[in-house]
Amino acid sequence: MRADDPEVQGSHSETGSFPLLVLGALGVVYGDIGTSPLYAFREALHASGQVPDAVVGSEVLGLLSLIVWTLTIVVTIKYVGFVLKADNKGEGGTLSLMALARGSFTGRPIWVLVLGIAGASLFLGDAIITPAISVLSAVEGLKVVEPRLSEWVVPITLSIIVALFLVQRFGTGRVAVVFGPITAFWFLALGASGLFHIIETPGILTALNPYYGVVFLLSHLDIAILILGAVFLAVTGAEALYVDLGHFGRKPIVVAWFLLVFPCLLLNYFGQGAFIYAHPESVEHPFFEMQPEWARLPMVILATAATVIASQAVISVAYSLIRQAMHLNLLPRFNVRHTSETQAGQIYLPQINMLLLICVIVLVVNFRNSSALSAAYGIAVTGEMLITAILLFVVMRRIWSWSLMVTLAVLVPLIVIDIGFFVANVAKFTQGGWVPIVVAMVVAFLMQTWMSGRRLLAKRTKADEISLDTLMGSLAKKDFPTIPGTAVFLTSEVEGAPTALLHSLKHYKVLHEQNVILSVVTSSSPFVVDEEKIFFESFNPKFSRAIITFGYMETPNIPKALILARKLGWKFDIMSTSFFLSRRTLIPSAKGGMPFWQDRVFIALADNASNATEYFKLPTGRVVELGIQNTI
């Protein structure tokens, strides 16, 4: 379950007991990385060119050593040790880190924004692969249970995925309460199945020595890149630790990692290694083949449930990320539906849900098995991890005030490792790695188009508008008829006169008893306290100005926020208030600031954006929209 908004967030100690937060973190934070044992060790064996008669003990030890130390360095040291501490008032994720780092500069440099956009885009590129590879790898266990079911793997996978996306509209609050317990049972099953084989072959524990991993790479330099690309699959999902920071807090995430997740993952990987050590012919699906025959079907069912939970977590994070991008004006306002009356963070984005479903179906149909799909996995994750490390450097230097030498001593080794894994995954570009890159490029292009189009539109609009001071001076010289009630004129320009007000005066030639010029801005902080949310000033008895500031993790609700203005002297009555908005019709121009075809893309984004009435939770019966045309 998610709690993205201040209405439900509060302090983590207040929103739930600590054990429940730890249990919840298991289901949401660690679902993705918890399904990696299904395919990571298998793909590492295949990448090293292992065939039944070629698997030898030293090679198994080498691969295991690489996986163990990758988990230790990337997850335990980098993310748990450092990245989780770089929270933006309790919130995590690429966009939160970008806002935190950018806010430390007075000039708000564009390169930090570019890094944030790139990181968010790469995550969305990764988000379409996780459901496909996770569910597919779990259902493939049927091949081990009954080989004759092989042709049913893809249809069953597609059925599960379609059902998963279709139920999003109903919300996941009721079933989310079981995510934690099921995932906890999954990790215990991982640990128990691995421990059984470790007891049979205890010598496998010598892989804890990093020497075996280093020697293995040095003796396989010709395929080292391929091996590293496969080994990295063991830590895909690690980025969820940071993305979900605001939902559970740092301590529950850290405790869950050390108490259950990390030990059980290690036990299972060592168990797979011990099984291969004793049964070198079982390299096709070692995870399922190492299970006792009676446990294989139950493990397939449990693995499928775990992958559905992991996929649900990724979908929820994608929704949250898109909403953050909307509030930061990186994307247009998509339709956001709340699926819970008590949990404001439980949201559903119909347009995004359909796009994700189509992409996931296309991946499953085209790749058809998790081994082929694993080639597409990794580039987006490693790219995002590298961007996180760069932004973390800014935070360490400018916010934590670390010295340059200490910062470099900590981050340079981590960045070198990130670059190594990134290069290793780039080598898989032609085999499927292009998929998340193409998705990320499309998302980044849409963000750039939206930002450029909004900036150009604001420039054109500002050129046609008059300043607020000029309007106040002009109105003081005229005596317009007055009608009862309050008129609220929304404008994106804090200093400019609202277009809706100018058109209202032009057509109606009357003023309300009270007129409020309202602007809504988004803070670089995830949440804004009530005391700082409203700025209110009065120009004269008839005109006032209000500026509402929402955090980028909040759901903008103008009527609710305006109630706060009563403390500042404005008597707000929703039943006697009319909200005036401008509805713009955009017309492309061959002489615009963007290429003509990009104008068309911007207009298409604007046409598909949800209207301001719905986005700002305005009462539909109290809204007046005035249409205007703008050329961009």
Token output for 622: 């109290």
Q: Last residue of a domain, which of 451, 486, 514?
A: 451
* DSSP structure class, residue 91: B
Does one domain contain both 158 and 233? yes
What is the reported pLDDT for 52?
45
Question: Do the domain assignments include residue 407?
Answer: yes
Tell which of 428, 451, 474 closes a domain: 451
So what's the pLDDT on residue 9? 39
pLDDT band, very low/low/confident/very high, at 463 (cuts 50, 70, 90) = low
Which pLDDT value is given to residue 341?
Answer: 55
pLDDT score of 10: 38
| Residue 402 predicted with pLDDT over 90 | yes
Same domain, 484 and 417: no
Looking at the 3D structure of the chain, how many domains does it have? Answer: 2
Identify whether 457 is part of a domain.
no
- Which CATH number do you get for residue 240? 1.20.1740.10
Most confident of 15-19, 131-135, 282-286: 131-135
Lowest mean pLDDT among 138-147, 183-192, 291-300, 573-582: 573-582
Shared-domain flag, residues 477 and 400: no
d(CA 244, CA 124): 15
Q: How far apart are CA 400 and CA 323, in angstroms?
A: 28
- How many other C-beta atoms lie within 10 A of the C-beta of residue 151? 8
Rounded to 5 degrees, φ, ψ at 516 are -120, 125
Q: Which two tokens mark 411?
A: 């981050």
Q: Kindly state whether residues 17 and 123 are assigned to the same domain.
A: yes
Residue pLDDT, tens place only, 541-584:
888 888 999 988 888 888 888 887 777 667 777 788 899 988 87
Q: What percent of the chain has pLDDT above 90?
A: 39
Indicate whether 368 and 446 sit together in one domain.
yes
- Is the pLDDT reported for residue 354 higher than 60? yes
Shared-domain flag, residues 526 and 426: no
Q: Which of 451, 484, 501 is the last residue of a domain?
A: 451
Q: How confident is the model at residue 344 (pLDDT cuts 50, 70, 90)?
A: low
Q: Are 137 and 161 within one domain?
A: yes
Distance, CA of 113 to CA of 283 (rounded, Å): 45
**How sure is the predictor about 1, in pLDDT bands with cuts at 50, 70 and 90?**
very low
The model's confidence at residue 12, banded by pLDDT at 50, 70 and 90, is very low
Looking at residue 387, the DSSP 8-state letter turns out to be H
The verdict on 23 and 53 lying in the same domain is: yes
pLDDT tens-digit series, residues 144-175 = 888 888 899 999 999 999 999 988 887 766 66
Q: Is position 4 within any domain?
A: no
pTM value is: 0.84
**Cβ atoms within 10 Å, residue 95:** 26
98 located within any domain? yes
- Per-residue confidence at 59, pLDDT binned at 50, 70, 90? confident
Closest CA to 556 of 247, 246, 244, 328: 328
**pLDDT, tens only, 483-521:** 888 899 988 777 777 888 888 888 888 888 888 889 898
Mean pLDDT throughout 245-261?
91
Residue 513 lies in a domain: yes
Residues 6+ apart with CB under 8 A from 613: 579, 581, 620, 623, 625
Of residues 7 and 81, the one with the higher pLDDT is 81
Q: Calculate Rg over the CA atoms of the chain.
A: 27
Q: Tens of pLDDT along 204-250?
A: 999 999 999 999 999 888 888 989 999 999 998 888 889 888 878 89
**Domain match, 422 and 475 both:** no
Q: Is pLDDT larger for residue 338 or for residue 255?
A: 255
Q: What is the mean pLDDT of residues 341-361?
A: 81
As a whole number of angstroms, the distance between CA 407 and CA 399 comes to: 12
Q: Which pLDDT score is estimated for 260?
A: 95
Domain membership of residue 6 (yes or no) is no
Same domain, 414 and 538: no
pLDDT (tens digit, 9 = 90+) per residue, 355-400? 999 999 999 999 988 888 888 888 888 999 999 999 999 999 999 9
**3-state SS string for 183-222:** HHHHHHHHHHHHHHHHHHCHHHHHHHCHHHHHHHHHCCHH
Same domain, 415 and 487: no
> In which band, very low, low, confident or very high, does the pLDDT at 196 lie, cut at 50, 70 and 90?
very high
Residue 25 is part of which domain span?
12-451
Mean pLDDT over each residue of the chain, to the nearest integer: 86
Asked if residue 374 belongs to a domain, the reply is: yes
Please determine, for residue 315, whether its predicted confidence score (pLDDT) is greater than 50: yes
Closest CA to 157 of 182, 172, 138, 129: 138
Residues 475 and 434 in one domain: no
CA trace torsion 380, 258, 269, 420 (10° rounding) = 40
**DSSP conformation letters of 500-526:** HHHHHHHHH--EEEEEEEEEEEE-SSS
- What pLDDT, on the 0 to 100 scale, is given for residue 16? 52
| CA pair distance 545, 452, nearest whole angstrom | 28
C-alpha span between 632 and 453 (Å, rounded): 8
pLDDT at position 499 = 81
Position 28 in a domain: yes
